[in-house]
Structure 1
Amino acid sequence: MPHWVIVSLAATAFAVVSAWAVRLLLDVAVGWLRALLVSLVVFLVAWPVAEWSLTEADVVSDGRVVVDDGIAIAFLALTVGWIFVVVVVVMLTLEFLSPSRRMPNPLRVIRDAIRRRDRARRYAQILAIGSRHGLGFYESRRRGGEDELPRALVSAMNDAGVTFVKLGQVLSSREDVLPPRLIEAFSTLQMDSTPIPWDEARAAIQAQLHRPIEEVFERIDPVPLAAASVAQVHTARLAGGEEVVVKIQRPRARAQVTTDLDILERLAAEAERRTDWAKDYGALALASEFSRALREELDYRIEAANTDMLRAAIAASGTHLLRVPTVYGDYSTPQLLVQERVVGTPFSRLGDAALAPEDAARIADALLDAIVDQIAVRGVFHADLHPGNLILGEDGTVTLIDFGAVGVLEASMRRLLLPMLIAMANEDDVAVTDVALLMCGPPADGGDVAALQRDIGVILTRLRSARADENVFRLLLDVLRRNRMALPPSLLLVFRTLASLEGTLRKLVPGYDMVSRALEVAPRVALSLLSPRSAALTAQTWSALMLEQARRMPRRVESVTRSIEDGTFSVRLRAFEGGEERAWVDSIVGRVSSTIVGVTLVISGILLTVDDGGPRLTGDVPAFGFLGSVMGLGGLLLLLRALRGALRRR
C-alpha cells in the first residue's frame, strides 16, 4: 500500500478519535468541526517529527520496525499520546481566545433572519416617516422647531401605526414627565387614529364571524365611530335590535406590533447598558410591561373576561357612578369584540365649559373614591385610565371602556397599601418605610434602610406644602427605584394607574389635587373593611392554625428529648445542602486533586527521564526514561483537564 495512503488513513482515524477525546476531556462545548480540523492539521505537521523520533530511538530503521512488536506498539502509543497533548494545548488556546459556538438550529437561523429583515425594514419606515413629518434635527430647526414639534410627532405616530399610537396614549397621561404642549398633542391620539378603509374592515369582520355580516347585524355603519390604536369601532344594530359597537382589530396590527415591540425592547436594553438614567428607571422592565400589556390587547378574549370581572367588582362596591358595557360573547373572537353602545363624551374631548365647576368636582371626587375602592377593597381595577377610556354620560355616570388592561392586586398587598396611605396622610415616615420594606423586601446589595427612611420623610414633609401638580406616588416610586427596591409588579401597576388617573381627572377639574383626596379617603376605606364578620373569620383562621401547631408540639418535644437521651441528637447545617453547592465543592476538590496529581506526575516523569538507569528498551532508550515520558504525558493531560475551569469561565 502506498505510503501516502497509510498516512491519510492514519490522519483521518487520529482526527476522529482525537476530536471525540478532546470534547470528553475538556468537558466543554468544543465544536466538532474545529476539533476535527485541529486534530488533522496537528497530526500532519507532527508526523515527520514522529517518524524522526522513532528513528532516533532505534524503533524504526529504513522504514521498518527493528524491535519487538510489543516495544514498537508502546513507542507508537507514546508518540500518538504526545501528539494528542499538542492537540489539546492548541484547542485550549483557541477556545480561550475564541470560544466555540453551538451549531444554530436552521429553523431558528431562518426565523432570526426574517426578524432582522423585518426590523431593518421597520427601522427604515420609521426614519422615513419621521423625516417626512419634519422630525429631522436640522429640518425642525428651520421650520420653527418647538411650535411644530407636537403636531409633527402626532402625525408621525399616526402614520407609524399601532405601537406608536399606543405609546402616545400612555405618554399622554404623564403630565409629571412631559410638558403640557406634548400632553395636549398626544391626547388627540386617544381616539383619532387613521382609519382603515371600509372594504378592508368589512372583510376582517366577516372573516372573524365566519358567516355573512347580514346574518348577525341588521345594519352596520361603514364610517367608523372611532379609529383607535389597535382597532377601529363601528356602530351597528344586531339582528335582535340591540344597538352595539363593533370593535375590529386592524388586519396587520399583530405582525406590526410584534416587530415594533422587538425594536422597543432592544432599544430599552441598549439604553440600560449605556446610560444610568435608563437603569435607574428600569427602562427594560417598563418596555417589557408595555409589551405584555399591548400583546394582551391584541386578544379580545382577554378583554371580554376582564370586562366581566370588573363589572362584578363594581356591582359589589355598590357605586352608581361607574358603568361597564355588556359584551356579546356569541359574536366576539380574539380579533372582534361586539359590545353595548355607550353614548356620551370621552374625557379627552371635554372642554373647559363642559360642566359646572361644582358638578365636575363632585364627579371627580366620586370617580376617585370608586377607583380607590376597586384597588384597595376589591383588588380588581381598570389599569388604563387615560382620558379616552372614560365616557361621561348625560346623566352624570361614567362608563369605562377598553378593558385590555385590568389589574389584580392580591389581598396581602391590599392589606399593606391602605396602612401606607394612612401613614402618608399622618406624615409617619417610619411606618411608610416599614410598609415599603414589607411590600418590596430589603434594598438590593445591602442598601441603607436609614437613607430610605430619610428620603421618604422628605417626600412626606413636602407633601403638606407641595404644589398640586406634584404626584407623591411618582416621587415614592423614584425613591424606591433610587434605593434599588424590588417593586412587585402589582404595586407598580397601582402606582402607574393612579398617576394616569390624575391626568384624567384634571380633564374634569384643572389642577385637581388627587393625592390629598386619596389620602383623605384611605382611612375611611380602611374603617369600612373592619367588620365583626371579618374579624371573627380572621380570629377563627389563626386560632385553628395555632391549635394545630400546639397539637403537634408535644410530639416534636418528645422526639427531641428522645434523640438527646439516645445520643443521636444532631444539628444539620444548610450550607452546601443544595445540589449546585455540592457540585461546586466537588468541582473545586476535583480540580485541586487533579492539579496536585498532575504536577506530581510531571515532576516524577522529568526525574525518571533524566535518569539513565534501568534496562534498555532499545539501543538508546532506557526503561526509566520511557516510563518517565509516559508519566509526564499523564500528568500533563491532568493539568490540561484542570484548566477547563478557566476555559468555562471564559
Structure 2
Amino acid sequence: MNLIPEQYDKYIRFFKFMAKYWNSDVFAMPDEDAVISDEEKSIEEYEDSPEELVEDLKAMGPTYVKLGQLLSTRPDLLPPHFMKALATLQDDVDEVEYGVVEEIFKEEIGLRISKAFASFDEKPIASASIGQVHKAVMHSGKVVAVKIQRPNIRKRFIEDLDTLMHLSQKAETYSETARDYAVHSVIEELRYVLLKELDYSLEAQNLSILKENLKEFKYLFIPAPISDYCSSRVLTMEFVQGNKITQVSPLKRIEMDLDPLVDDLVKGYLKQIIVDGFAHADPHPGNVYLTPENKVALMDLGMVAKFSNKMQENILKLMIALSNYDSQRVNEVLLSISEYDENKVDESLFRKSIERKIQESENQKAKDLKTGRILIEINQLAAKQGIHIPVELNILGKILLNMDQIVAFLSPEYDMHNTVKNYVQELMQQRMHDDLKPGNMMELFLEMKELTENLPFRVNKFTENLAENKIKIEVDAIDEQRFTDAFQKVANRITAGLIVAALIIGAAMLVRVPSSWNIGGYPAFAFILFVIAALIGFYLVYQILFKDDFRKNK
C-alpha cells in the first residue's frame, strides 16, 4: 500500500494522535493498583484524562470511535479508567437529510417510503456514525423502527481500516511494544466486527436467531425484523416502546417486584453464551430497555459474539469453578485455554494471584460480589504476566460486568451470584442429559465399532514392529527402572489379552463338540474356559481402572 497524496491526511492525523498518547497512561499495562479500583485515583493523577481521549477519538472520525468502543471490551489492553470512558463513547454526527434517506430506501428496497409506510417521521429518533433511525407506521398499523445507513460510510470505513491495517503491520515489524499488545490482531478484529456491522441484513438475521433462542424467557423481548423491508443498508424492525433500563423511576422499582425480570435477563445471557454459542455482544444499559409490558428488550444486534462448542464447555467449567470458589480448578481451566511462553511466564505467580483473587471474592457478601468484575480482573492479571487469555473470556467478562450494573440498578439486594451458580449447574445437568440422547449414543457406538474393527490390526502391527525392533521411543528424561516396569506391564497385558482371546475362541469351538459332562446345558470344559477368560478380563479391567490410577496419584 503506497502513501498516495490523498491519504496523507489520514496518516498525519494518526501519527499526531499516537505522538500525544504514546507515553501516557493509555498504553500503560494495567497493574494491580489499576485492577483494584477505578475510583481511588482522581482524574488529576493521570497525564491525559479519559474524557480527553474520548474527544480526540471523536475528532478522528467514526472509524476511531468504533475502535474506542472495541477497546472498551479489552481489559487486557487498557487501564480501567479509560475503559469506563470508552464504554460510553458516542460520536456527535449531523443528521442525514430526509431526501437522502428517501433515495437510499428506494434504491435498496425498490419502493418509495410513501408506498411502504402509512406514515414516516422525517426527523430521526437516533443518529449515529453508521446510520440513523426513524419511526414509521406500516399500512397494517404496526409501529416500526427504520434504520438507514449513511451514504458512502462503507467507503470511508474501509479506507480508514486499510490505513490502520498498514500502520499496525509496520508497527509490529519495528516495535516490540506493538507486538506485545498484538496491535495488528486488534485492528483485524475491528475490521471484521465493523464490516459485519455495516451489513444490516446480518443484523436482521441476528435479531431472528436471538428471538428464537430466547423464546422460553417470558420477560425478555427481541424486536422482530420486517424482512420485506430489510437489506444491507436498510433495517426495519418492531418499534420498542419504553425507556432505557437505567432510567426506570425509583417509584416503579419500589412498587414492582423486578426480580423475575432480572432472573430472565441473567439466565438469558448465560443460555446465549453456554448453550447457544450466540450472544448479544454489546448489552450496555443503552441497548437494554424496559417496555410498558414490563419486559426487558434487547436491541442493537449489529455486534454478536459466537462461541465454539469447545469454548462453551470451557466457559461452563470456569463458571462452575468460580461459583464454587475453586481457585485450583479456575487456574487449570484458564491455563489450558490460554497461550503463553512457559519459559517466560511465572506460572506459580499467576496461580497464586488467581488464588488470592478468588479468596477475596469468597469473603464478599453475595450482593457485593461482581462476577463480571472478577473476570475482568483475571484478564488483567493474565495480561500483566504475558498470558494471552482467549478474547471470548474478555467478551464474557464485559457482558457480565454490564449485567452487574443493570442488576445493581434494578434490584440492589438481588443475589446474582446465587442465580449464576444454580443456573450454571442446571445447564451442566442439561448438557449431560443431552449427551445421553440416542443420536449422541449412536455416534459413541459408531466410534466403538470403529475401534473394535481396527484394534486387532493395530495390535498385530504393534507386535510385529515390536518383534522386528522397529519401535522407537523419544523422551527427554528416563527413569530406567520405571520405564522397564511400564514396558513389562504393557507386554504382560498384551499377552494376557491374547490368552483371553485364545480362551474365548477355544471355548466357542468346544461348545459345538458333544460332551457327556455339561454345566447349564453347555459342555463343561468350554464353560470353564469362558469363566477363566472372564476372570482374567475382570482382573485386567480392575488393574487398569483402580490400581493404575492409585499408583499415578501416589
The TM-score with structure 2 as length reference comes to: 0.67
Query: Does the 8 Å contact 2:130/2:198 carry over to 1?
Result: yes
1:381 maps onto 2:283 in alignment? no
Q: Which amino acid in the other structure matches residue 522 of structure 1? A: V
Corresponding residue SS for 2:135: strand
Matches within 5 A, 1:413-562: 413-440=311-338, 443-445=341-343, 447-466=345-364, 468=369, 471-508=373-410, 517-519=419-421, 521-531=423-433, 534=436, 538-562=440-464
2:106 counterpart (197, 206, 215): 206
In 1, Cα distance between the equivalents of 2:130 and 2:436? 43
Corresponding residue SS for 2:436: helix
Q: Which amino acid in the other structure matches residue 249 of structure 1? A: Q
1:297 maps onto 2:197 in alignment? yes
Corresponding residue SS for 1:343: coil
Query: Does the 8 Å contact 2:338/2:387 carry over to 1?
Result: yes
Alpha-carbon spacing, 1:282–1:562, altered in 2? closer, same or farther (3 Å):
closer
Per the alignment, residue 124 of structure 2 pairs with 224
1:189 counterpart (73, 90, 93): 90
Per the alignment, residue 372 of structure 1 pairs with 270
Per the alignment, residue 119 of structure 1 pairs with 10
Per the alignment, residue 570 of structure 1 pairs with 470
In 1, Cα distance between the equivalents of 2:234 and 2:16? 28
Report the alpha carbon displacement of residue 464 of structure 1 after superposing the two structures with TM.
1.6
Alpha-carbon spacing, 1:278–1:508, altered in 2? closer, same or farther (3 Å):
farther
Alpha-carbon spacing, 1:509–1:282, altered in 2? closer, same or farther (3 Å):
farther
1:325 counterpart (200, 203, 223): 223
Matches within 5 A, 1:591-602: none
Matches within 5 A, 1:134-145: none
In 1, Cα distance between the equivalents of 2:85 and 2:384? 30
Per the alignment, residue 407 of structure 1 pairs with 305
Per the alignment, residue 149 of structure 2 pairs with 249
Matches within 5 A, 1:280-359: 282-315=182-215, 318-347=216-245, 349-350=247-248, 355-356=253-254, 359=257
Alpha-carbon spacing, 1:528–1:573, altered in 2? closer, same or farther (3 Å):
closer
Q: What is the number of residues matched between the two proteins?
A: 444
Q: Which amino acid in the other structure matches residue 163 of structure 1? A: T
Report the alpha carbon displacement of residue 543 of structure 1 after superposing the two structures with TM.
3.8
Alpha-carbon spacing, 1:321–1:348, altered in 2? closer, same or farther (3 Å):
same
What CA deviation, in whole Å up to 9, does each residue of 1:572-601 have, x standing for no partner?
Answer: 7999xxxxxxxxxxxxxxxxxxxxxxxxxx
Report the alpha carbon displacement of residue 550 of structure 1 after superposing the two structures with TM.
2.1
What CA deviation, in whole Å up to 9, does each residue of 1:102-128 have, x standing for no partner?
Answer: xxxxxx54xx5267335147559989x
Report the alpha carbon displacement of residue 335 of structure 1 after superposing the two structures with TM.
1.2
Query: Does the 8 Å contact 1:321/1:398 carry over to 2?
Result: yes
Query: Does the 8 Å contact 1:468/1:512 carry over to 2?
Result: no
Corresponding residue SS for 2:214: helix
Query: Does the 8 Å contact 2:221/2:298 carry over to 1?
Result: yes
Query: Does the 8 Å contact 1:235/1:246 carry over to 2?
Result: yes
What CA deviation, in whole Å up to 9, does each residue of 1:326-351 have, x standing for no partner?
Answer: 11222211111111111111235446
Greater gyration radius:
1
Query: Does the 8 Å contact 1:205/1:336 carry over to 2?
Result: yes
Unaligned ranges ≥5, structure 1 = 1-107, 131-143, 576-650
Q: Which amino acid in the other structure matches residue 211 of structure 2? A: R
The higher-RCO structure (CA 8 Å, 6+ apart) is 1
Query: Does the 8 Å contact 2:200/2:302 carry over to 1?
Result: yes
Query: Does the 8 Å contact 1:409/1:491 carry over to 2?
Result: no
Identity of aligned residues (%): 25
Per the alignment, residue 138 of structure 2 pairs with 238
CA RMSD for the aligned pairs? 4.2
Corresponding residue SS for 1:417: helix
In 2, Cα distance between the equivalents of 1:464 and 1:573? 47
Report the alpha carbon displacement of residue 427 of structure 1 after superposing the two structures with TM.
2.1
In 1, Cα distance between the equivalents of 2:151 and 2:450? 59
Query: Does the 8 Å contact 1:220/1:237 carry over to 2?
Result: yes
What CA deviation, in whole Å up to 9, does each residue of 1:489-548 have, x standing for no partner?
Answer: 444433333334434444545698755653454223323433277366555433431332
Query: Does the 8 Å contact 2:50/2:81 carry over to 1?
Result: no
Report the alpha carbon displacement of residue 238 of structure 1 after superposing the two structures with TM.
2.8
Query: Does the 8 Å contact 1:217/1:239 carry over to 2?
Result: yes
In 1, Cα distance between the equivalents of 2:247 and 2:73? 14
Report the alpha carbon displacement of residue 196 of structure 1 after superposing the two structures with TM.
2.4
Unaligned ranges ≥5, structure 2 = 22-43, 476-554
Per the alignment, residue 598 of structure 1 pairs with none
Q: Which amino acid in the other structure matches residue 353 of structure 2? A: D
Report the alpha carbon displacement of residue 253 of structure 1 after superposing the two structures with TM.
2.0
Corresponding residue SS for 1:570: coil
In 1, Cα distance between the equivalents of 2:295 and 2:460? 66
Query: Does the 8 Å contact 1:119/1:259 carry over to 2?
Result: no
Q: Which amino acid in the other structure matches residue 10 of structure 2? A: R
Alpha-carbon spacing, 1:205–1:162, altered in 2? closer, same or farther (3 Å):
farther
In 1, Cα distance between the equivalents of 2:277 and 2:86? 33
